[in-house]
Structure 1
Amino acid sequence: DKIGLINDRRNIICFSDEAHRTQIEHAKRMQFSKDADENMRAMVSKPYAKVLKEAFPHATFVGFTGTPIAETYQTFGDEIDRYTMDQAVADGLTVPIKYHPRISKVILDNEQIKQVEEYYKLCADEGATREDVEASKKAMSSLEVIIKEPSRLERLAVDIHDHYVSSCEKDPSRVQKAMVVCSKREIAYTLLKIFEDKYPEWFEEKKVPDGVCATDE
C-alpha cells in the first residue's frame, strides 16, 4: 500500500492474471495489527489494481481472466480478445468438458435428526429469530448434514470408483486421470479415507520397470 509512484512514463504495459477478484479496484481487505502498546489496529488495504495504477499512473493495463465479472470491465475496460473453451478444444489444447449428473440418496437416522433439532432449539433459546432459524436450516441441510452424511459419501466413493474404472476399461490405450473436488476439507479427507479403505490398491506405490517409459514423452 505504501509503494506510491514508481514511473509515470506512458510506454509501460502492466499484465495482470486472475483479473476478477484481488486485482479489481473495488476489492478491499481488512488487515489487523498491533501497535507498540499492544493495541489492535485495523487498516483497509488497497486492491492490487489501485496500487499498480498509483505506481504507474499512465501505463496501459491488460487483465487476463477466465471468469470476468462486472468490476473486471470497470477496472480494465472492454475485451480486446477472447479465447473460449470451444476454441481450445478445437485446437486440441484441452479436452471437452462433459457433465454427468449424479443423484445420491440421503437418509438421516433418528439420532442425527435429534441433534439437528437440539441445535436449532439452542439457537432459538439464545435469541435467534424464527427467520434466522429457518434460513440456517436451509443452509445447514444443504451444506452440512446432507453433503457430509456418511452413507452418502460411501455411495459417492463407490460411484466415482465404478465410473472411473469403467471409463478406463472402455479406452485402455489412453492414460486417464481424475480429480475429486469437495466443498470442504473435512469432506475431502473423509472421502479420501473411504477410498483408502475400499480401494487400497489405488494407494499402492508403483514403480515403472527399468527401461520402460511411463509416457510417450
Structure 2
Amino acid sequence: MLYIVPTPIGNLADFTFRAVEIVKQVELILAEDTRTSSLLLKHYNIQKPITPYHQHNEHKIVSHLADQLQAGKTMALLTDAGTPGISDPAFLLVRECVKRNIKVVCLPGATAFVPALVNSGLPINRFCFEGFLPLKKGRQTLFKKLAEEERTIVFYESPMRLVKTLEECIQYFGAERQCCVSRELTKMFEENKRGSLREVCDHFIAKGVKGEIVVVIEGVS
C-alpha cells in the first residue's frame, strides 16, 4: 500500500494525528528532500528508513518502487511541504500504482492554495488552480487565456518573480482587477495582502518579498 501524506507548510503542529500514526507504521518513507523530512520526523520522534523521491529521480525509480509495493511493502510519500502531487512529485508513482491495482490512500492535510483561496475574500465557489506558471514557453498564451477566465484564479509564485508576475497580470488583466497575495502561510510572519493588482504590486515593490507565495486573482466579470 502507498500512503500519500501531506506535511506542514510551515507550522509543524499542522501534521495530523493520523499522519503521525501512518508514518510510524510504514516500512519505508519516500521523501522529496530527506533532510527536510528528517527534521519533521525527528520532531515527532519517528525513526524509519527514508529514501529520496523527487523530480530528478522519479522516472528512474518508479517501476522499482511499484515492484516493492506489489510485493507487499508499505510506503509513505512525503514532500517538503503540503500535499504530494500538488506542484510536487507524486503523479508518476500514483499512476503506476493505479495501473497495477496497488492500493493508494491519500490523507487529507496541509496544502498552501486552500487557505490562501479561502481567506482572499474572493469568490471560491468556482476556481482554477494553475500551480506554477510557465517561465517562458507558453507564458504569454496562458496569460491571454487567463485574462478571459471567469473563475477565481490561483497559482504559486517564487518571491524573486512575484513583482514581475504581478506587473504582467496588470498588463493582461487590468490594474483594477482584485487580488490577494498570501505569504508565509501558517508561519509567524504570515501576510495576506488584498487589493487591486496595482495596489498589491506597489506594496511588494516598496516592501520587498520573502517566503512562499500564493496569488489569488478574481475572474473576469
- TM-score normalised over the length of structure 1: 0.21
Tell me which structure has the larger Cα radius of gyration: 1
Higher RCO (CA-CA < 8 Å; seq separation 6+): 2
Higher share of residues assigned strand: 2
Structure in which a larger fraction of residues adopt helix: 1
